[in-house]
Structure 1
Amino acid sequence: MPKFVDQSNYNDRVAVIVSVDSANIYAGDTELFHSLESSLVEALPKEACEWRRSYGRAVKSVFVSASFIPFSKEILPKGGNWQLTHQPVFHIYWTECMDVDVYKMSVRDEIEAWLKTLNQHNIQDWMIVIVETYDLRKSNKLLPRTTVLDKIRSDFASKHADRCLSVINPVRSESRSAESWRGLLTRIRLLVLSAYNRTLLKFEEFIRDQRERRNELGWNFCHYFLLQEELAFVLEMLGVYDEALVQYDELDALFTQFVLNSNVGDTPAWLGTFQVPLEDWPGIVLDCNINQTHRGLIGECRASLLQFRGYLFTRQCTMLQLLSKPWELAQRCLPFLHNCVKELEILEVAAPPGAVACWLFLCSLEVLHTCETFQDGRHVEACSLYTAGLWAYARDKLHELGALCGLLPGCDPSSQQLHTVVGLSAGMGDSREHGSYPTPTDKLKEALSSKEAFKKHYLELAELAMGTYKHIGRIRSARLVGRELAQFYLLLGERNKAAAFLSDSLKTYEEEGWRDLVLKTQLELAECCDKMGDTERFVKLCAVIASASELDMPTRISHFDKMTAALRDLRTDPPLTEPLSDCFSLGEVQVTLGEGGTITKDSPVEVTVNLDSSLPCPIGGCRVDLSLEEVKTNVSTGVPAARPQEAPAERRARRGQASQPPPSSVVNTLAHRINVDDPLRQANNPVLSRLSMVEHLDYQQDKSLSSASMASKNTKQFLRRSDSHGRYRKTSVAARSDFSYCLSAEDIVINPGRNTLANAPVVLSQTTKDGEIEVRILVGCKAREKGLYRLGQLSLRVTSNLEFLSGTLTPRVGFEVTREPPSVTLNMGGKELLAGLEQDMVLTVSSGSQRIEEGACLKLHASRGLLLQIQSSEESLCHEILVPLLQTEPFTTLSMQLRVMAELPPKRDSSVIEHKVMVQCPWLVEDRIIPLHFKPPFMSTCRLHTAQVRKFVQVVVAGLTAQMVELREPELSVMSDLDLPLMSLNPQHGQKQIAGNNMNVSFMWEVDVDAVQDTPPIKTEFSVKYSPINDVTTLSSEQLFTTYKCNFDVQDYKTLFVVRSRVEPMKGSELCRSGTMCHLQLKVTRVNSGSHNSLMYEVLADQTMWAVCGRTAGVISLETVDKQNITLDVMPLIGGYLPLPGIRLSKYIPADHKSPGRGN
């Protein structure tokens, strides 16, 4: 029998041999073949061979193993017989004839008869093997011209030479036969695979033709099912289990389509055979064996729908087991069961009550037990994803049977229900023999036998379903099973276990926000706790239920009354604590600051809190406390110290927020007003984040717009499934903080809706426009010592034994209790401080949080060059003054006018003048220094001008500020012993001389330099009187003028040489013309003696106007003469009045000149 091994899915090249129920037929020399059969059968499966198939199917590497049977006409396939699993696929003729004459006499006729028989049965897969036996004693004999192999090829295989092969007998000559024997094995493998491929192609074509006739009258799906299943058998036999599974899946889909079509159209005659009422409902058996009984019923068209479906699913599961895919087996089971139930409804198959539930239960358990046989860790993990639903489905069906048969707790089965149990047990049939564990049939029969057995099996299935759901992370499904299990325990009277399951379910629903499920579970849990006598838990649940706006008002009021009645009888110490958010919601929280935006020591603290009550009725006699926490700060850094103890849930919430940069001040970290339920605070919620969308345009081939849409760049970020386990956490009851320092109020009535808790001298009530009652309650205290305080928790005590606690208010809201010392400032009121002018300044004293007593004085001491004066005082300006202060209350301000005057030093630049005022305060140990910066109103600069041999000194007074000043009586005097006359060229009367911003005044004096022989530096002093301009429009100034003085040094004030230049036309021309050569006449004259005799001249001409011909520089000597004339050729380039080229004289130092002291 051929055997094939598919290695396409095995990376480690492990071979798994799959037997095939088929045979290869041998003919010819029987004794010869028997001598080689054992070696042939043993050698074939040792090497792999590629199996190449048509229609683009994947190439597979397989091992071929074969068994052989003798040739007979009776075993040859007949026409129309498509049972391929028992048909021979390959024929081999064996002979050891080596003599051509013997071949012609007998062997040729035998081969011809053999091939004729094969052709009559349309068999094309054959092979002829000639076994040669070498005789060593006749090795020298000459080789014949024509061998038997050549004759056979020419007679029978002229077009198929590969089907005739000659090998050396390995039994007689093993060393010489190795190569030929290897070639024979390879050829047999290839031809056997080719034979199977050809046979399968014919069979597939036949199946395809039969499928196309499915709409013809007389076509029967049952017969077609057996036909295509034969192909699946062959593929299974060949080891191609995945392709065999495909055949069964096609049959499954085809049958389903027929059933669906029958629901809207005519029902085929063959489908009516599946509409017979159910008489038995045995479960499926997944033992990899073929159920011949059901297969025979299918062939006879007598199978029921459940029998057909069970058989088909069993075969699919067998293929999956052979493929080692138990997880897919579990994955297919639940949809298969749902599909069967739907088909029973469509075909209107009659069944006894509970029969279908029994069959579904048995099928589920059989698949689950089959999956448990796979112990590999990977298989267990993969199966758990799908077995969880199967466990829950089996539990549901068992519960359905329990309700039908009266086996649920609190029920007694009637005689009719007992008869139902007997009928169901009979329909399940006898269970198969299995000694290791009870079969599903045994379990179901045992579960239906008694209420205790039913309870045992039901709880076992529920626990398995819950455990598997938790293992794969499907907590929601596990909680749903637990909730149904709680109902079962309630029927049993075990309320403690029921409460545990309901509590787990409630926790999950609250974490994930399933509001409808939360309310239903809370109602069930409250009823359970009431029956258990758990008053504390019952009170909490009643409070939450009464606050649920989704419930109807009678239900809420009923539970509110139950809560108040239970609280009257409850005695607890400490009181019960419940999250404030369960029944109340905080709105706006605002701290009212005192005057100046601060709160001082011993002053009242005002806080307004908006509290919304969700309870249906008013609550009287309440006490409200709002804790205060002092923020400890690091003295050296100003950074807040570690936070006080917080609840773990709040710490997790705080840790999840984005880190903020450290504040510059601790006060800036606290707000004075927040809105706790502000929807804008939910901006960090990823569900509410802005999507990143882009425009997507689709165009047709003609470039016209086909459609326009919006697409997201990152769909995975927003379309991912949230994990149902551990992602959501509801904030638990916060730990009670320290309420020793708090805002409090007693005997408060909390009404439904908005309540405003505010700091007020009395308790007031007023009706708003909307008809709601707004209650204002005294919640106040006095500020303690200086420091930073923030609001912590809100405690609302309804009675002495029930307290609602909020979490820590976030963002943090608080206030600062200040103890501010008095401060002193000196300012100009927005104007600039100018030196040299008397100006008004304001001395401001702020009392801070202290009280300044009468008689206190400030002592102001100015730096050198700065004078002070109290404006209201008659004393003159001085360096030190005393300022008396009036009695002032805290946080008041005193202002006094001062007069200041800073000396104006000689200024040649615009730099500021710095002064300091030292203030001695009675409340400070050290003096405070106030720096003042004065700007000069103007500055002065000096410059020497030359006109031939005459010299002029110019002094420019430049204004620097917007303050204009009038200048009078400018004077320039020589401070040295030189008798140097200075003649003023400044006007004595006429227009006012005013300097200001961008306004300069120039003064000029002529210096008579001929009065001195030498040229020593001249030290001069410039003085001018100035007065500020009060009225810009009239330019009127004060009558009081101040003198400004500044010293200047004048050097190099004598002219040594005079240069004269002119341009003359060439001889014969009267005018200078552009483009013609002209003469530039230079004349250098010594006017005063000096040490410079050799001079270098340079002509500096504008190249756009003049072109200098020849050298533009030269050296002249005035050692013996006082005048020198130089003539240069220049050419004007343009017409018009042109400026003459410039001449520059420089002292000439020869190259060989040596410095004094360096030799001769």
Structure 2
Amino acid sequence: METKPVVTCYGDSSLFSGLQAHINRGLPKEATEWKRSYGRSSKFVCLDASFVPYDEDILPTENDKSLISRPFFHIYWTECDVDNYKQSVREDITEWHTALKSNNIPDWLIVVVVSDESKVKAKLLPRSSVIDRVKSDFCGKQVDRCIVLTEPHKGDQRCMDSWNNFYQRLRQLLLQSFNRHLSKYEENMRSLRERRNEQKWSFSEYFLVQEELAFMFEMLGVYDDSLLQYDELDALFTQFLLNHAAGETVDWLTPFIEPCTKWAGISLSKALNWDKRDLIKMNKASLLEFRNYLFSRQCALLSLLNRPWEIAERAVAYLHNTVQEMKTLEIEMPEGSLACWVFLSCLEVLHTSDKLNNSTEKLNSHSLYTASLWDYARKKLKELGVLCGLMPEVSSNPTSEQLNKVVDLLFGMGINEEEASTTGSPRPIDRLREALSSRQSFQRHYLDLSELAMGTYKHIGRMRSARIIGQDVAEFYMKQESPQKAEGFLLDAMKMYKQEGWDILSDSIAVLLAQCQKKLSNPLKYAKTACYIVCSKNLSHSERCYYLDELIQLSRSDDGNPLCIQTNPAFSVDNIVLNTPVATFQDEMSIELEIFSNLPREVFISQISLGFSHEASEGSQKRSLSRQPSLYGTVDEPVMNFQTIRPQLPSKINVVSATDVKQEKLQSSSIICTNTNELLKRADSIQGSVSDSIYKLNYKLSLTAKDVLIKPGVNLVTVKSQVDSCKRGLYKLGQLCIEMGHLEFIRHNMANNIFVEIVCQQPFFEVSPSAKIGELISGIKQDVELTLNTCSIPVTEGSILSVNTSSGLSAFYNDESDVKISLGAVSVNSSVTMNLQLQHILTKDSAEATLTFESSFLHYPISCHVTFYPPLQFSHKVFSCQERKYIQVEVKGNHETPFSLTKPHLKTVDNNDVDFTYLGHFDKWQFIMTSQYVICGNFEVMLSQDHPLLTLFSLLPTDHLWMKTAYVDYLYTTSI
């Protein structure tokens, strides 16, 4: 409000008119300390005044209780010499002073303006100037009531000093006047408040009295004190309402609780609404109108205090409290009218706060309240949408009754003509009218408000509130038949409730989520959510059974790949008993599982399978270097069926006190943690991403149980399987799969340190020479028997056995050198014999050779070592007879195999001057050699001198075709 304290002026009006502009500029220029009564803190105020002509009729009397409109101070202006003073001015001042005194007004000041010309002309004696006479005639002991204004238009230093003295004197006298009037006014106001329990006491009258005090403080620029007056009125009125609700009725409250016919929202466009104030003055204001006026005045003062961010903060409590008051007092209002009032008020406050706030920091810190207002407006708009048939789930258009209700609600909002003429952003009433005009418009406005509320909550980190709004938006989208938009909001709300331990709320959201996912025709997501609902202990038994039937229905449908979901929370494995921790092939393995079912009733499970993954045996592959988790100093090697214990972080912090004393003075005091090395251990910074995909793995070793009836609670299930074609070694417990038709419950990584061991004796091969030969002989092609002993590994029909040989050895099967043998089915611990032919190159000494066997039923190639022996043994002797030299070579068979030998021959290797003469007939020399016979060949040596000889003896076999062209050589050295 633009009011100023009233100051009357009397005397030389033309003189004051010439000085008024200067006074209006200079008076509020400097702040003055206002020392207040009753021990209140002093304030610095900038005083201004509204100067009006003096009139005796406007002088307040003792019974005048007004504060703002009354004149607070009176000034008499004169510029005269002594003669004029004696002739007319003195009498005029006397009349003016007498009128003030008769009305008991002590707040006055006489201003004598003095110029140079008047001073020169007068040449007065000392103590005979006009100012002296005025002080003598009127001031008495109050010498401060008269002041001289010297040369006001000159502008020199003397003039400036004179003006400053005048301003200081006027400010001090004005403050004294304010104190006197305020003290008296507050005393009257307190006495009026103390009579509040009297029968004829009226709150409206008291409200106007204290509000005038607030006007006074606002006029003086003390806005916080002015706001305090309204806060006190608010608290007093609220207390009266509470007392009335408790049964203490008062007569003056009757107009406030009469049926409400208008529900216009708060209007903050004007600082003071005189129309509403007049209604309060006439005791015709309704509760909503009074509350609107009171809050608008508080908002205006908050704006003057540069605290516009508090408007939204106060508005939240104001709106909720007022709504509660309306319900408590049972004030009759048309259905939906209170929601209209809340909606309009919220938007008006939000618009004003946004317009006045220019501090980003303050705006962010009070965004909580703006978010609450957006949310409150959203809720009330939804309430109106339900009432007026504008929600999306309604199939038909609004009825005529609902349309009439919209018209009545819009009529009760009223129209502010002054606001209607302004241009700019749409007013709250315009937005509400548009929202109620059609279903599409309503839905658009509702979603806009929801987005604004959620965005503001997220901006300030209030994710819980944002998720709750998202839940309402999801329900709205579900009614709008847009489940794809609702799913994300429901998931966020469900996760939030679950994380914070609100299981009942989380489960209720899960039901909505299941309905949404069913409409989306997503069987996998629907199965997961339905499984969660089925296992909930917070939902009714009938609801859980309904969704269990839905799961069973999904399990019977075959639309392609099976639906894979986690076993938790439907099933949990509480205990695992290894009946056969060690097994071999063809043994039956069995494991007993203790499965706990959270389902509401028994279900039929088609199959339960437990898979094992093969662990590489120690030393089978070189371990690559990798970074180990920094929390542990050793490598975590798995130990079969043993749960490793990892060190845990300490549960408490150990601290001790420490002080630093220097020169017998305490310098510092602190606390020290003694186990920082444990608390500050760096967690492993390399963490693999965890995939949440569920899929069934294929295991070579899998134990199963078919056609199992699972009941609620504990179930003992034995899974078993015969160890068949799998590698030997350790097998780690891997995946559990519980199949219910087309639905599979899967749990990965059942236990990290549960192993079973498969013991396997590998097949081996035996190579046996034929009974005719007895031993393997080098140099000849001979038949052998190859025997395969299967041991623990069976041979399947059609398996191909490949035979590879080492260097110098050849193998033949059916006269084919590339040996590929097709095998029939052979059971475990059985044998099968095959015929092969082997041929090793002719050697002087025994030779080792290797046969390598490969096949699909073998885990790795198997080698078999064979030894080949030479067919003959050779020795020699040297004889001398006088000068003649003879060499005798003996030939002996190594085995019973007979050999036909002919053409013995002896020659030197490195000396061509030596001749050998065979002492016999070549054509008659033919022997059949066995191990029972020894034959000799004698040769005479023809040489010129004795020296060592390197000789070569050779024979030609005649009974083995493949050896007819190959000589059997015997290389030896002898001295002659």
- Are residue 501 (structure 1) and residue 489 (structure 2) matched? yes
Distance 1:633 1:36 in 2: 110
Residue 413 of structure 1 aligns with which residue?
398
User: Is 2:371–2:456's contact at 8 Å kept on the other side of the alignment?
Assistant: yes
Specify which of 642, 653, 674 is matched with residue 672 of structure 1.
642
User: Is 2:208–2:281's contact at 8 Å kept on the other side of the alignment?
Assistant: yes
Residue 322 of structure 1 aligns with which residue?
304
Structure showing the higher helix proportion among its residues = 2
Residue 551 of structure 2 aligns with which residue?
563
Distance 1:289 1:378 in 2: 26
User: Is 1:601–1:817's contact at 8 Å kept on the other side of the alignment?
Assistant: no
Distance 2:504 2:311 in 1: 36
Residue 784 of structure 1 and its aligned partner are, at CA, apart by: 7.4
Residue 333 of structure 1 aligns with which residue?
315
Letter in 2 for 1:47: E
Distance 2:187 2:197 in 1: 18
Residue 125 of structure 1 aligns with which residue?
107
Residue 775 of structure 1 aligns with which residue?
717
Letter in 2 for 1:617: E
Distance 1:601 1:141 in 2: 143
Distance 1:219 1:632 in 2: 99
Letter in 2 for 1:425: L
Q: Which string of whole-angstrom CA distances, capped at 9 and with x for unpartnered residues, describes residues 24-44 of structure 1?
A: 222233333233222222222
Residue 366 of structure 1 aligns with which residue?
348
Q: Which string of whole-angstrom CA distances, capped at 9 and with x for unpartnered residues, describes residues 542-574 of structure 1?
A: 22222223333333233222212213324344x
User: Is 1:580–1:806's contact at 8 Å kept on the other side of the alignment?
Assistant: yes
Q: Which string of whole-angstrom CA distances, capped at 9 and with x for unpartnered residues, describes residues 916-965 of structure 1?
A: xxxxxxxxxxxxxxxxxxxxxxxxxxxxxxxxxxxxxxxxxxxxxxxxxx
Specify which of 498, 517, 522 is matched with residue 529 of structure 1.
517
Residue 426 of structure 2 aligns with which residue?
438
Residue 751 of structure 1 aligns with which residue?
710
User: Is 2:736–2:748's contact at 8 Å kept on the other side of the alignment?
Assistant: no
Residue 240 of structure 2 aligns with which residue?
258
Aligned pairs for 1:535-546 (under 5 A) are 535-546=523-534
Letter in 1 for 2:31: A
User: Is 1:131–1:167's contact at 8 Å kept on the other side of the alignment?
Assistant: yes
Residue 149 of structure 1 and its aligned partner are, at CA, apart by: 3.5
Comparing 223-232 with 584-593, greater Cα deviation is found at: 584-593
Q: Which string of whole-angstrom CA distances, capped at 9 and with x for unpartnered residues, describes residues 4-28 of structure 1?
A: xxxxxxxxxxxxxx85333322223
Specify which of 591, 596, 609 is matched with residue 612 of structure 1.
596
- Are residue 277 (structure 1) and residue 259 (structure 2) matched? yes
User: Is 1:374–1:380's contact at 8 Å kept on the other side of the alignment?
Assistant: no
User: Is 1:634–1:640's contact at 8 Å kept on the other side of the alignment?
Assistant: no
Specify which of 192, 198, 217 is matched with residue 180 of structure 2.
198
Residue 691 of structure 1 and its aligned partner are, at CA, apart by: 14
Q: TM-score, normalised by structure 1?
A: 0.56
Specify which of 70, 77, 95 is matched with residue 113 of structure 1.
95
Comparing 165-174 with 103-112, greater Cα deviation is found at: 103-112
Distance 1:382 1:79 in 2: 50
SS at match of 1:621: strand
Residue 484 of structure 1 and its aligned partner are, at CA, apart by: 2.3
Specify which of 561, 566, 570 is matched with residue 583 of structure 1.
570
User: Is 2:556–2:741's contact at 8 Å kept on the other side of the alignment?
Assistant: no
Residue 339 of structure 2 aligns with which residue?
357
Aligned pairs for 1:134-533 (under 5 A) are 134-135=116-117, 138=120, 144-145=126-127, 147-172=129-154, 174-376=156-358, 377-409=360-392, 410=394, 411-431=396-416, 432-433=419-420, 434-533=422-521
CA spacing shift, 1:747–1:32, aligned 2, 3 Å: same
Distance 2:154 2:486 in 1: 85
CA spacing shift, 1:260–1:312, aligned 2, 3 Å: same
Distance 1:807 1:50 in 2: 80
User: Is 1:632–1:641's contact at 8 Å kept on the other side of the alignment?
Assistant: no
User: Is 1:734–1:807's contact at 8 Å kept on the other side of the alignment?
Assistant: no
Distance 1:448 1:47 in 2: 55
User: Is 2:81–2:118's contact at 8 Å kept on the other side of the alignment?
Assistant: no
Distance 1:222 1:641 in 2: 84
- Are residue 93 (structure 1) and residue 63 (structure 2) matched? no
Distance 1:136 1:638 in 2: 118
Distance 1:603 1:127 in 2: 123
Residue 996 of structure 1 aligns with which residue?
none
Letter in 2 for 1:275: I
User: Is 1:364–1:394's contact at 8 Å kept on the other side of the alignment?
Assistant: yes
Specify which of 725, 733, 736 is matched with residue 795 of structure 1.
736
Distance 1:346 1:269 in 2: 18
Distance 2:134 2:586 in 1: 127
Distance 2:256 2:654 in 1: 54
Residue 34 of structure 1 aligns with which residue?
17
Specify which of 64, 69, 86 is matched with residue 47 of structure 2.
64
SS at match of 1:349: coil
User: Is 1:588–1:674's contact at 8 Å kept on the other side of the alignment?
Assistant: no
Distance 2:427 2:32 in 1: 43
Residue 297 of structure 1 and its aligned partner are, at CA, apart by: 1.8
Aligned pairs for 1:820-899 (under 5 A) are none
Residue 902 of structure 2 aligns with which residue?
none
CA spacing shift, 1:781–1:105, aligned 2, 3 Å: farther
SS at match of 2:356: coil
Runs (5+) with no aligned partner, structure 2: 656-688, 760-976
Runs (5+) with no aligned partner, structure 1: 1-17, 644-654, 676-680, 693-729, 755-771, 820-1160
Q: Which has the higher contact order (CA 8 A, sep 6+)?
A: 2
Equivalenced residue count is 718
User: Is 1:613–1:752's contact at 8 Å kept on the other side of the alignment?
Assistant: yes
Distance 1:594 1:450 in 2: 73
User: Is 1:283–1:428's contact at 8 Å kept on the other side of the alignment?
Assistant: yes
Residue 890 of structure 2 aligns with which residue?
none
User: Is 1:118–1:124's contact at 8 Å kept on the other side of the alignment?
Assistant: yes
SS at match of 1:777: strand
Residue 223 of structure 1 and its aligned partner are, at CA, apart by: 1.2
Identity of aligned residues (%): 39
Letter in 2 for 1:298: I
Q: Which string of whole-angstrom CA distances, capped at 9 and with x for unpartnered residues, describes residues 616-655 of structure 1?
A: 32342334345658699999x9999457xxxxxxxxxxx9
Specify which of 813, 816, 819 is matched with residue 753 of structure 2.
813
Residue 998 of structure 1 aligns with which residue?
none
Q: Which string of whole-angstrom CA distances, capped at 9 and with x for unpartnered residues, describes residues 672-725 of structure 1?
A: 1489xxxxx999899xx9999xxxxxxxxxxxxxxxxxxxxxxxxxxxxxxxxx
Task: Please provide the CA RMSD for this pair.
Answer: 4.2
Specify which of 674, 689, 692 is matched with residue 733 of structure 1.
692
Residue 220 of structure 1 and its aligned partner are, at CA, apart by: 0.9
User: Is 1:633–1:641's contact at 8 Å kept on the other side of the alignment?
Assistant: no
CA spacing shift, 1:305–1:691, aligned 2, 3 Å: farther
Distance 1:148 1:601 in 2: 136
CA spacing shift, 1:554–1:267, aligned 2, 3 Å: closer
Distance 1:607 1:672 in 2: 17
Letter in 2 for 1:662: G
Residue 271 of structure 1 and its aligned partner are, at CA, apart by: 1.1
Distance 2:436 2:474 in 1: 22
Residue 712 of structure 1 aligns with which residue?
none
Letter in 2 for 1:614: N
Distance 1:370 1:497 in 2: 33
User: Is 1:796–1:804's contact at 8 Å kept on the other side of the alignment?
Assistant: yes
Residue 212 of structure 1 and its aligned partner are, at CA, apart by: 0.4
Residue 622 of structure 1 aligns with which residue?
607
